[in-house]
Amino acid sequence: MTASQQYNERLERRRRKGLVFSVLLFLATTSGLVVLVTLIVDVVVQGAQWLDWEFLTRFPSRIPENAGIKSAIVGSLWMILLTAAISVPIGVASALYLEEYAPRGWLLKIIQININNLAGIPSVVYGILGLTLFVRFFALGRSLLAGALTMALLILPIIVISAQEALRAIPEGIRESAFALGATRRQVVWSHLLPMSAPSIMTGVILALSRAIGETAPLIMIGALTFIAFLPTSALDPFTVLPIQIFNWTARPQADFQGLAAAGIIILMVVLFLMNLSAILLRNYFEKYRAR
């Protein structure tokens, strides 16, 4: 056998190996999506029969047929609004300080490393912090405010990191030309940087909030109740939220309650889908707007 024959034979083998490998790669990539689709179909099939107007407008009940998710929906709305009101100003202000004010040096580096590490701390640990600091030390009790403060700390790193990226995307020339006209740093921030970065900051904020709306563990830690047959009227009231209601129903052994859980999951996923959609639309709209 000549060398070139050997080569050809081996090339054939190498090509076949490549083909097998690429099929494997494709299958692996789609397997994640297959699970995603299975999950969604399963939830819809299990939950659809429980989903009606009554389900949305009733309070939880020990009898599955009478159970609804009203207090959880209202609680989630409260939670998101409060969390946003606390975390967005602090997060954007942190990003402004780190990007525009802070002197470059070891302190900035430490804060930055710290923020990156905070983003990786398990959410249940934030729950321990919330339980000790807000519920017990500040004596806020198992209230909406204690929950929102905990959630705000949890999503703060996400907001800071995305706002920093938004600020970094603004060309240096914008700042320099404003400074050249005699603007102070504060004026540059208010008149140029914030309005220009607002759309991408908003996108990051919505994505961070959609993380908060699905979080369960920290709120269980601070003791959010699962059986709430009234609507909260102030930030100091006890509450429940969608994920906690879903958790409670899933953990029960009766099949009917698991159907309710699936119906609750449909509501939660629809809310998440709408939030993500609005983030994407917002980004696309402003990208088009800026291109013009």
Partner 1 sequence: MADSQQISTGAKTGAHADLAVNMLHSPKERAVEYALGFCALVSVLTTLGIAAVLLVESLHFFAEVSIVEFLTETRWTPQFIDKHFGIWPLLSGTLLVTVIAALVALPIGLMSAIFIAEYAPERVRKILKPGLELLAGIPTVVYGYFALTFVTPLLQTFVPGLNIYNALSAGIVVGVMIIPMVSSLSEDAIRAVPRSLAEGAYALGATRIEVVLRVMVPGAVSGIVASFILALSRAIGETMIVTLAAGAMPNLTANPAESVQTMTAFIVNVSLGDTPQGTVEFYSLFAVGLVLFLMTLSMNFLANLIIRRYRERY
d(CA 57, CA 120): 37
Minimum distance from residue 78 beta carbon to partner 1 (Å): 18
Measured CA angle at 152 (ends 147, 157), to 5 deg: 145
Subset of residues 155 to 194 that bind partner 1, contact rule: CB under 8 A:
156-157, 160, 182, 184-186, 189
Subset of residues 208 to 247 that bind partner 1, contact rule: CB under 8 A:
210-211, 213-217, 220-221, 223, 243, 246-247
101 contributes a contact to partner 1 by CB under 8 A? yes
96 contributes a contact to partner 1 by CB under 8 A? yes
Among residues 55 and 126, whose Cβ is nearest to partner 1? 126
Residue found by looking up tokens 């999503």 in the block: 155
Residue 164 structure tokens: 């920093």
123 contributes a contact to partner 1 by CB under 8 A? yes
d(CA 22, CA 240): 48
Among residues 68 and 157, whose Cβ is nearest to partner 1? 157
Cα–Cα nearest to 225, from 212, 244, 243: 244
55 contributes a contact to partner 1 by CB under 8 A? no
Cα–Cα nearest to 174, from 204, 194, 159: 194
Residue 259 structure tokens: 């159907």
d(CA 108, CA 133): 26
258 contributes a contact to partner 1 by CB under 8 A? yes
Figure out which of the listed residues 44, 74, 118, 194 binds partner 1, where binding follows CB under 8 A.
118
Figure out which of the listed residues 48, 56, 85, 93 binds partner 1, where binding follows CB under 8 A.
93
Among residues 131 and 145, whose Cβ is nearest to partner 1? 131
